Structure 1
Amino acid sequence: MADAIQLDVGGRTVRLSHPDRVYFPERGFTKLDLARYYIAVGDGVVRALRGRPTTLERYPEGVTGESFFQKRAPKNLPSWIPTGRIAFPSGRYADEICPDETAAVVWAANLGCLTFHPWPVRRDDTEHPDELRIDLDPQPGTDYADAVRTALDLREVLDGLGLRGWPKTSGGRGLHVFVPIAPRWTFPQVRRAAIAIGRELERRAPDRVTTAWWKEERGERIFVDYNQTARDRTVASAYSVRPTPRATVSAPLRWDEVPDARPGDFDLASMPGRFAEAGDVHADMEGEAFVLDAALDLAARDEREHGLGDLPYPPEHPKAAGEPARVQPSRARRPRRA
Structure 2
Amino acid sequence: LAADAKRDILSERPESVKSGRRIEELGAPPRKRERLPPKPGSLKPGALPGAVKAAPPSRIEPQLATQVPNPPGGEGPAEKTGELWLHEIKFDGYRTMAHVIDGEVRMITRGGIDWTKRYGDLPQAFSRLPVAQAIIDGEIMVLDDRGISRFALLQDALAEGAGSKLHFYAFDLLHLDGWDLRKAPLIKRKALLAELLAGQAANAAIQYSDHVEGDGQGLYDQVSELGLEGVVSKRADAIYMSGRTKSWTKVKAQKTDDFVIAGYTVSDRAEGLAALGMAEFENGELHYRGKVGTGFDRDMATELLARLERLTAGASPPEGVPREIMREMHWVKPLLSARVRYSNRTADNAIRHGVFRGLRDVGGLTTPVPVKRKRLIAESDLATIWVTNPERRLFGKTGPTKLDIAVYYALVGDFMLPHIIGRPVSLVRCPTGKPQDCFFQRHAFTGMPPSVAVFESVNSEGETKTYLSVEDAKGYLALAQFGVVEFHTWGTHRTKLDRPDQIVFDLDPGEGISWREVVEAAVHIKGGLESLGLVPFVKTSGGKGIHITVPVTRKQNWKKLHQASSAISTLLAASAPDTFTTTMGKENRKKRIFIDFHRNARGHTSAAPYSLRARTNLPASTPVSWTDLETIDAPEDLNYVSLPGLLETSGDPWAEIDEAGRDLPALER
Deviates more, 1:253-262 or 1:85-94: 85-94
Q: 1:11 to 1:267 in 2, by over 3 A?
A: closer
Q: Is residue 290 from structure 1 mapped to residue 667 from structure 2 by the alignment?
A: no
Q: Is residue 122 from structure 1 mapped to residue 525 from structure 2 by the alignment?
A: no
Cα distance in structure 2, aligned partners of 1:189 and 1:74: 32
**TM-score of the aligned structures, taking structure 1 as reference length:** 0.80
Cα distance in structure 2, aligned partners of 1:227 and 1:28: 32
Cα distance in structure 1, aligned partners of 2:422 and 2:465: 15
Cα distance in structure 2, aligned partners of 1:9 and 1:96: 29
Cα distance in structure 1, aligned partners of 2:402 and 2:560: 41
Q: Secondary structure at the match of 1:195?
A: helix
**TM-score of the aligned structures, taking structure 2 as reference length:** 0.42
Cα distance in structure 2, aligned partners of 1:274 and 1:92: 44
Q: Deviations over 1:289-318 (max 9, x none)?
A: 2211x2xx22x2xx4xxxxxxxxxxxxxxx
Q: Which has the higher contact order (CA 8 A, sep 6+)?
A: 1
Q: Deviations over 1:202-255 (max 9, x none)?
A: 121111111113443333200001211122221111111111112111011101
Letter in 1 for 2:407: R
Gaps of 5+ in 1: 1-6, 304-338
Cα distance in structure 2, aligned partners of 1:202 and 1:52: 30
Pick aligned residue for 1:160 from 505, 524, 531: 531
Q: Is residue 171 from structure 1 mapped to residue 530 from structure 2 by the alignment?
A: no
Aligned to 2:557: 186
Q: Deviations over 1:102-148 (max 9, x none)?
A: 33223112332111111111001111211111111111121322221
RMSD: 2.1
Q: Secondary structure at the match of 1:267?
A: coil
Moved over 6 A (4+): none
Alignment of 1:7-156 (within 5 A): 10=381, 13=384, 15-25=386-396, 27-156=398-527
Q: 1:78 to 1:29 in 2, by over 3 A?
A: closer
More strand by share: 2
Q: CA deviation at 1:93?
A: 3.2
CA contact (8 A) 2:425 2:469 kept: yes
Aligned to 1:278: 650
CA contact (8 A) 2:422 2:493 kept: yes
Q: 1:59 to 1:231 in 2, by over 3 A?
A: same
Give % identity: 32
Aligned to 1:245: 616
Aligned to 1:213: 584
Cα distance in structure 2, aligned partners of 1:213 and 1:65: 25
Q: 1:217 to 1:94 in 2, by over 3 A?
A: same
Aligned to 1:223: 594
Letter in 2 for 1:202: A
CA contact (8 A) 1:71 1:94 kept: no
Q: 1:27 to 1:263 in 2, by over 3 A?
A: farther
Letter in 1 for 2:598: N
Cα distance in structure 1, aligned partners of 2:387 and 2:538: 33
Gaps of 5+ in 2: 1-377
Larger Rg: 2
Q: Secondary structure at the match of 1:124?
A: helix
Q: 1:63 to 1:151 in 2, by over 3 A?
A: farther
More helix by share: 1
Pick aligned residue for 1:199 from 545, 567, 570: 570
Cα distance in structure 2, aligned partners of 1:63 and 1:249: 19
Cα distance in structure 1, aligned partners of 2:382 and 2:637: 32
Aligned to 1:335: none
Cα distance in structure 2, aligned partners of 1:201 and 1:225: 12
Letter in 2 for 1:209: F
Q: 1:22 to 1:92 in 2, by over 3 A?
A: same
Letter in 1 for 2:458: A
Q: Deviations over 1:34-73 (max 9, x none)?
A: 1110011001221121101111111012243501111112
Cα distance in structure 2, aligned partners of 1:12 and 1:84: 30
